Structure 1
């Protein structure tokens, strides 16, 4: 198949797309819409125009109540009919900015003709929990309970976030009080609690709870798979092997998931001899490895720089009649890229996947972008980005742009390329920057002698309650002092003192 014909986007054409006098204070010039946009007729409630009107009214650094009030007072926003799709899109957009997400959620909820779905409440619970806003999360749960909207999925998100914050005792209390939410203690809810505890390295506690409950709540095969995963996570693979035997004692046959979890543990410790032993055991037990198993093994061999052996996994998979999927191809492309076999990786992406009918996902494009960035091939990396944009299969995410941003700083192309990338991320795809991206930008801009721009990112991230690393603050402070920007230096020093005292 001929190589896909995609027009290369040169840095010269980027210069046309980004103003020559591009301001380092990009957020002033990268607003999402003009005031005239508010006067346009809305065809779809979750159209880009409507979404942009709402996003434009969100100001960083405000509390959720202030944001809610600003939305209420915004005449353009209040002409937009609220839909479940609109709310879902906005919550995803602000998934790393809990204040904006909560302000938007309260605004939507306040409309008399709109009642959020349970799924929207669950998303908001998860955002609050992720950002460690536990009191607000629990208050929202009580509000849901009054409206009879709490589901087992709501409880799963609450338990996960409580355990993630080290509050596993509170998670157990929530489980004990399930009847207060109109839910039952049964195998499904027990498994959710056990799984949450195990994933937070509390597998022994989960085991003790199971021993207390097993007399009146029957386990399932999934119960034992939870423990297998939990024991492997805390590096007690022998306990995981014993759980396989216990599973059989309860009449459950170990599945490919059971074996693959233990295989992943051996891979993590580079014990590939045990990996191949388990593969042989699976075949003898008429439980053949699946594409996930092979993908896992290939990925860890690649991580250990065993590229030749990793590529042999592909042949073993073919011999077993196991068909590759998108994630396997992602791993294969990554392996070929790490091995420096760029043209083979390109062939897999542009020819082989097309021939077998496996469609790429965002992660596939990300692998290609990362490969070309690693090789310093910025033109090819941007070409892949444009291919993704025109494919209509998926959208770029923050991982798509991370290697491009790194390459931008590495090559010193901050004046034009960085502006283009930020415009794509923020204005076109409404990607919310996270801690890692803010850190990358601040460090890169400081080293590129653009510390005023870096300081703007610093202000924005702390306005979103994203806490920068202390080293990031220290680096920025040194650069700001060299520029004699005393007001900014005082602000950073004050913030660093607060970090130390909290």
Structure 2
């Protein structure tokens, strides 16, 4: 009988020739070529053969080696049987791996861990946890690799409960301070949304490596705690933390959320000084960070100098242009992309969103039809949502409503919310009431829906309905998210809320904003009183408008930055029309460029004009 593992022969020296019960064996392990002849193969021959199959993920040849063992009535020791489990698991044949494990008369911790790891890496988390319980009942004590593997299988709605159970066992077996286990434990706590427990585990580690430091920073970043992530990075870096490309990728995500251009440029410089390899994922993070910080020129520079681009790279650049409302660049870049990389479903979302924010309705619809017809794209509800947003922003509200009713998906609150926002912009009470009723039924506790409906009524002068909606909010104890804006000066974040009364320089800001108001009114600025959702006189409405958080942040920036420097302001909600006009006139009268990022997009205002074209 002859069993041959048929790998391509490489030009390497033969390592050994020897007899096995009179039969010749030739093994070229460097190339993975293993030939076993006769029935008397030894432990070392089987070990070399299985190792070659594991390295090459050669399932067919691995089965041949296993069959040879069975035919030769060779009973593999625990080590070789475990190697078979690993081989089958690495090749994705989990049922075969489980059969080998179940047939082992004796198993050790490596055997169990290999099978648990196979289930975990294949996404079969429930089976991994179930097998872990069997392992414990069999009296086998887990090691650090077992715990790290099991923790990655704690997922789904019960993840936090599962992590706590495993954590309890980790503590009882004194593995809590093991760096490998600790890193996995804090990572899973963070992914389950319990950053406090993750931080406790991190603080207990006697030693911290790059992996554990990156894991805790990533935990803060994943939960949107960008300030905390940045502060922790600075502390750890000052204490001598070594960073890799994953660390910087994670940090750039937080800086994107903060729109902190100065820190972003410093991190980019640090990456260059450390001469880290520019993996695609790191460059994609730089593109995203610069675009969210309002520096599309820098994003494009990184993009253009990439030696290799993935679809994610193109999508990041497309979304950057879309976020800034530069629709024509979105369309042009998309056409270039189709010549180099196959667009994916995210590409279509980015293009449709870019066309929507840029007011390119017909171009967006044409591209949608092109991709659907020529590339047979699989459409998701997200794509329909983009088209509905596209129609809504252009004022085609009835057509958008028909599309919602005809699409093959059940409309989500996000889709209805998009259309309700369009009804507010175009002051369409009839469609707005229909949409709002659907939303209030689906999300009775979402304050944003009540607020938008109230805005529609207020814009139409329907004050009785405004009061009715407000009373409904009181009855249901629904509260609105307060608007706030912030600006970073000298590495300090200054946050403002509407009619802020707590900033230490409140009196100076109030005096300056009144001075600005006089100057821009002389240049033609007229307050948009429709932005005030209260039935009060015009003079009081103007005073209320002056207290909007983005006006306070822009004024503070004007007071505390030298001439010629861009004023960069961020806001957690959508900017109102009056504040947008205010910023335009400030940019013109005072000759200052203003970058204002709200919840949905960027506004770059220069000399009285905005890149959004007053379309957002």
Aligned residue number for residue 419 of structure 2: 404
Give runs of aligned pairs for residues 216-227 of structure 1, distance below 5 A: 220-227=244-251
Q: Equivalent of 2:435, from 410, 413, 421?
A: 421
How far apart, CA to CA, are the structure 2 residues paired with 1:141 and 1:301?
Answer: 41
Distance 1:363 1:295 in 2: 15
Measured in 2, the distance between the counterparts of 1:144 and 1:464 equals 38
**In 2, Cα distance between equivalents of 1:265 and 1:361:** 27
Q: 1:425 to 1:142 in 2, by over 3 A?
A: same
Structure 1: give runs of 5+ residues left out of the alignment: 1-116, 126-139, 163-169, 480-502
Calculate the aligned-residue CA RMSD, in Å. 4.3
Q: Conserved in 1, the CA contact under 8 Å of 2:322 and 2:351? A: no
Match of 1:373 in 2: 392
Aligned counterpart for 1:307 among listed residues 318, 321, 327 = 327
The equivalent of 1:436 in structure 2 is 448
Whether the 8 Å contact between 2:249 and 2:281 is mirrored in structure 1 is: yes
Alignment partner of 1:372: what SS? helix
C-alpha distance in structure 2 between counterparts of 1:403 and 1:465, whole Å? 20
Whether contact under 8 Å (2:245, 2:282) holds in the other structure is no
Confirm or deny: 8 A CA contact 1:227 1:243 kept in the other structure: no
Aligned-residue offset at 1:343: 3.1
Q: Report the equivalent of 1:356.
A: 375
Number of residues paired by the alignment? 316
Q: In the superposition, relative to structure 1, how do residues 310 and 186 fare at CA in structure 2: closer, same or farther (>3 Å)?
A: same
Look up the match of 2:473: 458
1:200 aligns with 2:212: no
Between the aligned partners of 2:354 and 2:469, the Cα distance in structure 1 is 35
TM-score by length of 1: 0.51
Alpha-carbon distance in 2 for matches of 1:299, 1:437: 26
CA distance in 2 between partners of 1:266 and 1:458 (Å)? 39
If asked which structure has higher relative contact order (CA below 8 Å, sep 6+), I would say 1
SS in structure 2 at match of 1:120: coil
1:327 to 346, 349, 355: 346
Q: Report if the CA contact (8 A) 1:122-1:157 is conserved.
A: yes
Is structure 2 residue 321 aligned with structure 1 residue 298? no
In structure 2, distance between residues paired with 1:204 and 1:456: 42
- Counterpart in the other structure of 2:489: none
The corresponding residue for 1:239 is: 266
Residue of structure 1 equivalent to 2:102:
none
Q: Distance in 2 between matches of 1:241 and 1:411?
A: 42
Residue 326 of structure 2 contacts residue 358 of structure 2 at CA under 8 Å; is this kept in 1? Answer: no
Secondary structure of the corresponding residue to residue 282 of structure 1: coil
Question: Cα–Cα, structure 1 residues 455 and 466, in superposed 2: closer, same or farther, change >3 Å?
Answer: closer
Question: In 1, are the aligned partners of 2:163 and 2:188 still within 8 Å (CA)?
Answer: no
Paired residues of 1:224 and 1:247 also in contact (CA < 8 A): no
1:231 & 1:262 partners in 2: Cα distance? 10
Is the contact between residue 221 and residue 247 of structure 1 (CA under 8 Å) also seen in structure 2? Answer: no
Q: Would the alpha carbon gap of residues 478 and 363 (structure 1) be closer, same or farther in structure 2, given more than 3 Å must change?
A: same
Q: Distance in 2 between matches of 1:211 and 1:433?
A: 44
The CA deviation string for residues 414-449 of structure 1, in whole angstroms up to 9 with x for no partner, is 4x544532453354xx34553332321233345433
Judge conservation of contact 2:190–2:216 (CA < 8 Å) in 1: no
Look up the SS of the partner of 1:254 in the other structure.
coil
Give 1:326 deviation, angstroms. 1.9
The reply on whether 1:448 has 2:471 as its aligned counterpart is no
CA drift at 1:174: 5.1
The 3-state SS of whatever aligns with 1:289 is coil
Mapping of 1:336-355 within 5 angstroms?
336-355=355-374
Distance of aligned partners of 1:357 and 1:154 in 2 relative to their CA distance in 1, 3 Å threshold: farther
Residue 556 of structure 2 corresponds to which residue in structure 1? Answer: none
Any conservation in 2 of the 1:370–1:403 contact (CA below 8 Å)? yes
**Using a 3 Å threshold, how does the CA distance of structure 1 residues 213 and 172 change in structure 2: closer, same or farther?**
farther
- Secondary structure class of the residue paired with 2:157: helix
Alignment CA distance shift 1:247-1:383 (3 Å):
farther
Which of 146, 151, 157 in structure 2 is aligned with 1:120? 157
Instruction: Give CA deviations for 1:464-487 in whole Å, capped at 9, x if unaligned.
Output: 566667989x977758xxxxxxxx
Q: Give the TM-score taking structure 2 as reference length.
A: 0.43
How many angstroms does 1:383 deviate by? 2.0
**What whole-Å deviation, never above 9, does each CA across 1:112-164 have from its counterpart, x for those lacking one?**
xxxxx9732558x9xxxxxxxxxxxxxx998997799988433344455x6xx
SS in 2 for 1:119: coil
Q: Does 1:190 align with 2:210?
A: no
Rounded Cα–Cα distance in structure 1 between residues aligned with 2:204 and 2:156: 22
**Aligned match for 1:261, one of 285, 292, 295:** 285
Q: Is the 8 A contact 2:451 2:480 kept in 1?
A: no
Alpha-carbon separation, structure 1, partners of 2:265 and 2:418: 39
Task: Check the 8 A contact 1:291/1:324 in 2, yes or no.
Answer: yes
Please name the residue that 1:153 is paired with: 188
CA drift at 1:454: 0.6
Q: 2:236 — aligned with what?
A: 209
Instruction: For 2:424 and 2:243, locate their aligned partners in 1 and report how far apart those are by CA, in whole Å.
Output: 53
What is the Cα deviation at residue 384 of structure 1?
Answer: 2.0
- Judging changes above 3 Å, is the alpha-carbon distance between structure 1 residues 141 and 445 closer, same or farther for their aligned structure 2 residues? farther
Higher Rg of the two aligned structures: 2
Distance in 1 separating the partners of 2:424 and 2:210: 52
For 2:247 and 2:386, locate their aligned partners in 1 and report how far apart those are by CA, in whole Å: 35
Contact persistence 1:442–1:457 (CA under 8 A): no
Q: Does 1:176 align with 2:190?
A: no
Does the Cα contact within 8 Å between 2:303 and 2:313 map onto a contact in 1? Answer: no
Q: How far did 1:301 drift? A: 2.9
Distance 2:444 2:414 in 1: 12
Mapping of residues 29-108 of structure 1, within 5 Å: none
Moved more, 199-208 or 149-158: 149-158
